Chain A
Amino acid sequence: MTGRSCIVRSLVLIGLFLIGTIAVAQTPPALEVSVALSQDTISMDEQAVLQVMVSGSAQDIPDPRLPTLPMFEILSQGRSTNVNYTNGKLDASVTHRYLLIPSKTGVFPIEPISVVMGNRRYAGNTVTLTVVGRGVQTSDQDENKGRDSDGNSRDLFAEAVIDNNNPYVNQQVTLTLKLYVAVQTYGSPSLVEPTTTGFWTELLGTNGPYQQRLNNRTYRVIERKYALFPTKTGELSIGRATFTATVATKRQNRRRDPFDIFGMLGGGQEMQVRSQPLTVNVKPLPTAGRPGDFSGTIGRFTFKATPTKREVEVNQPVSVNFAITGVGNIKSVAEPAIPDLPDFRVYRASSNESISKHNDRIGGTKNFEEVFIPNRPGKLTIPSLSFNFFDPQAERYRTVHTQAIELEVIKTEGYVASPEMPYAAPDNVISSDARDIRYIKSDPGDLSRRAEIVFASPIYWAVNGVPVLALLATVLVRRRRERLQGDVGYARARQASKAARRRLARARKLASEGASSQFFVEISQVLLSFIGDKLNLSPHGLTTDKIAQLLRERGAEAALVNTTLEFLKRCDFARYAPASVGEDDISETLAEAEDLMVRMEEVRF
């Protein structure tokens, strides 16, 4: 081979490789859609799983488009992905699972389910699902309830079971819901309770989780039981229960998260499973042998009567507890009929019930408290009472009886044979020993308007305020007295006006006696003593300059200071020239002195 031909050959190979690569790159990866049903035929009580598997060499396989299926309720059960790289070749598949719950019977072909990718549509095969009526045995129905149609065991499924699908009305039917879980779940599964229209329902309890082997697989089983009492005859339905659980998703062919040591960081996927609906055919109670006073109670019961005492005085009450105990719908137990008893007045006091759950059976005790009041003394008997019920196990009516109760009724002092008024002298009757009500009052008493309560009365609060005010007043008086005794300055200041008034009266008297010289001495002393008392100073040491200074220091007005000084000067002048002073001057001086003292009261000494 020459060098040139070798070059040409290499270029051709490179060209072919590039063309091939481009061609491969431009061809969309082929997808394959495969559709399968878990069962081809199901009954209305069942549900089928539709599995859509999309496989191909693409990395991002789109979700399939489901056709409209109005005759089914469709619940997604999640998807699983499988990706393989073998010799550089990608091989992926995504499986989607849908739960189909039929709403009517018939043959329903399911149109091809398709996937669109790269402007191309890939359609799957057509499958047909046949739905038959309730209770019809389908060919696919098998005992291996944990398997799907491929024989693979299910990870999660629910089951509803009743112990009796043909009970009598008001007979207990036990409904058991079971959730089987074979995979890891997060949290506790939630439950939407089944509808039980036509039943009185009582929850018996929840058991588990416990383990159960099924199809060579270990399931954790959670069980919830209900006691159902059909309230009417005919066909009654128990709806589906729906469990929702968060299931750990599988991560296949992926690199393990180095931080996910225990596999706890894997994502969870919510899955719903539903139990199948159930039908109960309730039959009526047989008419043959039915007692005339039958009240509809079903079960198995005992009947017991217990008096509080066996010896009683006339017209004294005796309580008798009638207890009906057994297995059955204890709430529906009717009060036992008490016949007319001429020797007793009978009052129904109360009833109560205690419900117990034993071995998945509802039972308990219903107590009826009756009060018997004997009308006459002697040996009286509360007769045996009967109670009827239907025993579903024996399928016949039964009657149980109480023992008759013998009472020793004692005749009391003052007893007269009257059912209403056994006492001639009601005043002799004391509280708890009373045999009858005391007679009406003839005096209406103090008939008054509906009064307010005492705490709403202002008089009450006024009266209650008196001691508080008295305490405050005496404390204040005492404090003042103590201060007057202990604080000379305070005492002089408080007494200044009073002392001044006394001196003024004396000055007035001197004026009336014509002693004008002594009058002016006194009136001058009145003012000096007043100022001295107010300032706690001796009036003998007070000069006009000192007075002016002290008054100014205490904020007296200049006019008041000047007037005071002028007044004192005039008094001094009049003392030494009394002949120049007339009667009018004396009156004016008196008035002026009073005015000055009034004005000085406003000065803060």
Chain B
Amino acid sequence: MRTMIIITAMCLVTASVAFGDTPNETFLQGNAHFEARHFDSALQAYSQVLDQGMQSAPLYFNMGNASFRSGDLGHAILYYLKARRLDPADPDIISNLDFARRFTSVQMEGVALNPVSSLFESIVEPHQLTTLAWLLTASSFLFFACMVARFGLGYRNSIVRTGIYNSLLLLLVVATLTTVKFDYDYLTQRAVVIAETAEVHTGPSELSDKELDAVPGLIVEILSESGDYYNVLFENKRRGWIKKELLAVV
């Protein structure tokens, strides 16, 4: 009986997809496939929502789950990263990304990370760029309000003076954090290793010496490109050239 219900639901889902559904409906169809443990079909449905030009953090989150259950660790981490970019504070996304990344716990020798940049990145990571940008605007309003009081209205008391210094400090801090976030999310191009075997070479050619073997799910920073290869920086600061087809850009 249960099988019949599932088959009927699948048929309805397939028919509705064929006749064109709203993105919301297609998303729910993907969920139905997932619950029926048809992870590939679920991914297909979620991808249709993307094809319609729509995106959301839950959509990428569910795509990550479907990929993880399919055993595609690279794409799972890719989608979790995309979800986190849209909603950095969602604990589900953080938890699943954290969990999935345990399976890529490579232990390559490396250089210690820069503690200053790590601190900044850990501060801005839970926040969206839009949030920080509007916080920067609010700080700017506060600073200019103090400036108007001092130079526009001529108030010269200590409250206004302290307000200028403090609001300027706040403005600089928020501007720095916003810049770090902008750099982290948009200026720095990141990618995830999606291929099962990914050789990293010392140059942009198969003839170059092999630097290391990368595994699915490793996150890299793209530094440059040459032909079919990306020059990438791994999280432990090792560099190398890897074929573009073995990576998916976040």
Pick from B27, B54, B129: contact of A449, CB under 8 Å: B54
Beyond contacts A349-B107, A371-B103, A430-B91: 4 other A-B pairs, Cβ-Cβ < 8 A, are A434-B95, A440-B65, A449-B54, A473-B152
User: What is the bound-complex CA distance between A233 and B218, given in angstroms?
Assistant: 39
A582 on the interface (CB 8 Å rule)? no
Is B153 within 8 A of A474, CB to CB?
Answer: yes
Near B by CB (< 8 A), chain A positions 329-354 give 347-352
The size of the chain A interface, using a CB distance under 8 A, is 50
User: What is the bound-complex CA distance between A351 and B153, given in angstroms?
Assistant: 68
Chain A: minimal CB distance from B54 (Å): 4
Chain A: minimal CB distance from B64 (Å): 8
Pick from B27, B68, B107: contact of A321, CB under 8 Å: B107
Question: Chain B contacts of A450 at CB under 8 A?
Answer: 53-55
Is B55 within 8 A of A438, CB to CB?
Answer: no
Chain A residue nearest in CB terms to B66: A440
User: What is the bound-complex CA distance between A537 and B219, given in angstroms?
Assistant: 80
Return 5 A-B CB contacts under 8 Å, by A number.
A348-B215, A442-B31, A444-B28, A445-B87, A466-B141
B24 on the interface (CB 8 Å rule)? yes
Of the stretches A113-121, A139-147, A381-389, A452-460, the one at the interface is A452-460
- For the residues of B in contact with A, the DSSP-based class is helix
Is A448 within 8 A of B55, CB to CB?
Answer: yes
Question: Chain A contacts of B23 at CB under 8 A?
Answer: 444, 447
Query: Would you give the 0/1 interface string for A408-450, flagging 1 where the beta carbon is closer than 8 Å to chain B?
Result: 0000000000001000001001111010111111111111111
User: What is the bound-complex CA distance between A92 and B235, given in angstroms?
Assistant: 74
Near B by CB (< 8 A), chain A positions 550-570 give none
Task: Known contacts A351-B213, A430-B95; decide if A467 and B56 are in contact (CB<8 Å).
Answer: no
Near B by CB (< 8 A), chain A positions 444-489 give 444-450, 453-455, 460, 463-464, 466-468, 470-471, 473-475, 477-478
Question: Chain A contacts of B61 at CB under 8 A?
Answer: 440-441
Task: Known contacts A453-B186, A474-B152; decide if A441 and B92 are in contact (CB<8 Å).
Answer: yes
User: What is the bound-complex CA distance between A445 and B49, given in angstroms?
Assistant: 13
Chain B residue nearest in CB terms to A444: B27
Question: Chain A contacts of B99 at CB under 8 A?
Answer: 434, 436-437
User: What is the bound-complex CA distance between A466 and B143, given in angstroms?
Assistant: 12
Pick from B145, B212, B215: contact of A467, CB under 8 Å: B145
Task: Known contacts A429-B95, A441-B61, A477-B152; decide if A319 and B56 are in contact (CB<8 Å).
Answer: no
Highest count of chain B CB atoms <10 Å: which of A420, A430, A434, A440: A440
Question: Chain B contacts of A474 at CB under 8 A?
Answer: 148, 151-153
Query: Would you give the 0/1 interface string for A149-180, flagging 1 where the beta carbon is closer than 8 Å to chain B?
Result: 00000000000000000000000000000000
A317 on the interface (CB 8 Å rule)? yes
Pick from A444, A446, A471: contact of B148, CB under 8 Å: A471
Question: Chain A contacts of B62 at CB under 8 A?
Answer: 440-441
User: What is the bound-complex CA distance between A371 and B34, given in angstroms?
Assistant: 26
Query: Would you give the 0/1 interface string for B168-194, flagging 1 where the beta carbon is closer than 8 Å to chain A?
Result: 000000000000001000100000000
Pick from B102, B108, B129, B141: contact of A350, CB under 8 Å: B108
Is B212 within 8 A of A352, CB to CB?
Answer: yes
A533 on the interface (CB 8 Å rule)? no
User: What is the bound-complex CA distance between A435 and B91, given in angstroms?
Assistant: 14
User: What is the bound-complex CA distance between A317 and B153, given in angstroms?
Assistant: 64
Question: Chain B contacts of A420 at CB under 8 A?
Answer: 69
Chain A residue nearest in CB terms to B53: A449
Question: Chain B contacts of A313 at CB under 8 A?
Answer: none
User: What is the bound-complex CA distance between A155 and B52, given in angstroms?
Assistant: 80
Is A440 within 8 A of B100, CB to CB?
Answer: no
The size of the chain B interface, using a CB distance under 8 A, is 60
A residues lining the B interface (CB < 8 Å): 317, 319, 321, 347-352, 367, 369, 371, 420, 426, 429-432, 434, 436-450, 453-455, 460, 463-464, 466-468, 470-471, 473-475, 477-478
B242 on the interface (CB 8 Å rule)? no
Query: Would you give the 0/1 interface string for B188-216, flagging 1 where the beta carbon is closer than 8 Å to chain A?
Result: 00000000000000000000000011010
User: What is the bound-complex CA distance between A463 and B212, given in angstroms?
Assistant: 50
Is A471 within 8 A of B133, CB to CB?
Answer: no
Task: Known contacts A445-B57, A474-B152; decide if A468 and B144 are in contact (CB<8 Å).
Answer: yes
Is A448 within 8 A of B140, CB to CB?
Answer: no
Is A467 within 8 A of B31, CB to CB?
Answer: no
Question: Chain B contacts of A470 at CB under 8 A?
Answer: 144, 148, 152
Question: Chain A contacts of B129 at CB under 8 A?
Answer: 453-454
Is B152 within 8 A of A454, CB to CB?
Answer: no
Chain B residue nearest in CB terms to A319: B105
Is B182 within 8 A of A455, CB to CB?
Answer: yes
Question: Chain A contacts of B163 at CB under 8 A?
Answer: none
User: What is the bound-complex CA distance between A469 and B147, given in angstroms?
Assistant: 12
User: What is the bound-complex CA distance between A431 and B108, given in angstroms?
Assistant: 24
Is A464 within 8 A of B140, CB to CB?
Answer: yes
User: What is the bound-complex CA distance between A471 and B148, given in angstroms?
Assistant: 5
Chain A: minimal CB distance from B163 (Å): 14
Highest count of chain B CB atoms <10 Å: which of A348, A434, A449, A454: A454
Task: Known contacts A437-B96, A444-B58, A471-B148; decide if A349 and B27 are in contact (CB<8 Å).
Answer: no
